[in-house]
Amino acid sequence: MAPVRKPEGTILVWNAMLTSDHRESLMRSCRVCAVAAYLAASLILPMVSEAQDASQYENLHVLPQDISRSELREVMLRNLTGLGLPRRQNEGCLYCHVGDMDQPSSTWAWASDEKTAKRKARVMMEMVMDINSALVGLEDRVAPEMEVTCFTCHSGRTDPRSLPEILKAVYADEGVDATVERYRALRERYYAADAYDFRAGVLADLAAEFAQDGAYEDGMRLSALNEEVFPGDAATRRSTISLQLAYTAGQDGVIKALSEYDSLSEAEPAEVITFGVLDGLGWYLFRTDHQDAALTVFRKNRELFGEDYIPNESLADALNLTGDRDTAIAIFEDWLVRNPDHAMARRRLADLRERG
């Protein structure tokens, strides 16, 4: 990515390209972390040598030319925090700036644009300031007013993508073994940091997506990993069983899969074998264009767990999606006879009737 520059002959500095609102937005953001900056001053070395005056800062494309030393330190600290980079001895600064931890930071090439991360950072800083300026006129803002920062999207990590996006990219480039290892590494580093969504449902959904795309064994590998990191979790075990049954249905037919389900029902704990197993199997089959098999599963689920709402709703939805709206209506009507105060069923029934 090329450096962000103005047309030839212009000086790309704060006052030449940004409004006073932008500067105020940045300075407000600076003040938010001012206390933290001063407390951390002993841990963060100056960005330039002590003898260098603010007017001598070089190659400032976004930050104002007259930015003070303390303001610059505050901005950089905020960036380090947003990206989860180490602050001691300027180590995290090397993510964008050119230098060597074995050399004094006063000798580093702070003005260099060699690193892509620095050029990207300029674009990101402009974007953040544009957003905050646009928010100024927003009505009914909460107090105190929220401001967008690096942390808003990055949440303390350099890669702002979600966990599924990262894992799918690793899988596409390096396969399932590397995907499993990347998950372990991210979980080890970020589990308590509120940076990624490590809930069981994330891996369960990704495993189902892999299996649905034809990579069943890789999907089961992720599902097994999910059970490893959430031992004894009933919902995680249910998702694995649903995938297992989906594979059986694809290889040997839905009747064989339901027979396997009956065997598993006797072997697995009661909290695992709930309506969620067949409901997951049914929608997996439906999404992979096996509607008839899916309807068979949904009917079986309703027979077994007819006192729960979801098996009734799923069968009704599947029937409606395959063109049998009348039977779908009849299912909701039957449910409401038994559960007249069920608001969701009343609304669903009204929607179906209105569409007729």
pLDDT confidence of residue 9: 32
pLDDT confidence of residue 271: 93
Q: Which has the closest alpha carbon to 80: 108, 72, 63?
A: 72
Alpha carbon separation from 219 to 207, 223, 281, 339, 352 (Å, rounded) = 4, 6, 14, 38, 36
Of 304, 326, 344, which residue is a domain's last? Answer: 304
Same-domain status, 111 and 208 = no
pLDDT per position as a tens digit, 150-193: 888 888 888 889 999 999 999 999 999 999 999 999 999 888 87
Question: Which residue(s) pair with 109 in the sheet?
Answer: 98
Same-domain status, 139 and 167 = no
Residue 328 — pLDDT band, cuts 50, 70, 90?
very high
Q: Is residue 143 part of a domain?
A: yes
Distance of CA 207 to the CA centre of its chain: 16
Q: Please provide the average confidence, as pLDDT, over all residues in the chain.
A: 84
Radius of gyration of the chain (CA): 28
Torsion angles phi and psi, residue 98, rounded to 5: -95, 125
Q: Flag whether pLDDT at 320 surpasses 50.
A: yes
Burial of 90 by CB count in 10 Å (0-12 exposed, 13-18 middle, 19+ buried)?
buried
Of 289, 304, 319, which residue is a domain's last? Answer: 304
Tell me the C-alpha distance between 310 and 246, whole Å: 19
Same-domain status, 178 and 130 = no
Distance of CA 265 to the CA centre of its chain: 34
pLDDT confidence of residue 136: 87
Q: Is residue 329 part of a domain?
A: no
Same-domain status, 35 and 120 = yes
Same-domain status, 135 and 238 = no
Candidate from 74-88, 111-125, 268-282 with smallest mean pLDDT: 74-88
pLDDT per position as a tens digit, 31-79: 444 333 333 333 334 444 443 444 567 888 888 888 888 888 888 888 8
Alpha carbon separation from 139 to 25, 134, 145, 217, 236 (Å, rounded) = 18, 11, 11, 51, 43
Q: Which has the closest alpha carbon to 211: 186, 246, 187, 237?
A: 246
The C-alpha torsion from 75 through 79 and 85 to 90, rounded to 10°, is -30
pLDDT confidence of residue 272: 95
Same-domain status, 181 and 262 = yes
Burial of 143 by CB count in 10 Å (0-12 exposed, 13-18 middle, 19+ buried)?
exposed
Residues near 179 by Cβ (< 8 Å), separated by ≥ 6? Answer: 167, 170, 171, 218, 222
Residue 15 — pLDDT band, cuts 50, 70, 90?
very low
Written as one string, the DSSP assignment of 20-78 is HHHHHHHHHHHHHTHHHHHHTTTTS--SS-TT--GGG----SSS-TT--HHHHHHHHHH
Candidate from 26-30, 44-48, 63-67, 336-340 with smallest mean pLDDT: 44-48
Same-domain status, 22 and 103 = yes
- Three-class secondary structure assignment of 288-331: CCCHHHHHHHHHHHHHHCCCCHHHHHHHHHHHHHCCCHHHHHHH
Q: Is residue 82 part of a domain?
A: yes
Number of separate domains in the chain: 2
Mean pLDDT of 109-125: 91
pLDDT confidence of residue 56: 66
Q: Is residue 319 part of a domain?
A: no
Residue whose entry in the numeric block shows the structure tokens 């006063």: 106
pLDDT per position as a tens digit, 198-215: 999 999 999 999 998 989
Same-domain status, 288 and 231 = yes
Alpha carbon separation from 264 to 66, 125, 132, 223, 337 (Å, rounded) = 71, 55, 55, 17, 33
pLDDT per position as a tens digit, 247-283: 999 999 999 999 999 999 999 999 999 999 999 999 9
Q: Is residue 254 part of a domain?
A: yes
Question: Which residue(s) pair with 98 in the sheet?
Answer: 109
Containing structural domain, residue 276: 163-304
Cβ-contact 307, 271 below 8 angstroms: no
pTM for the full predicted model: 0.67
Same-domain status, 176 and 299 = yes
Name the amino acid, one letter, at 174.
E
Structure tokens at 221: 């590998």
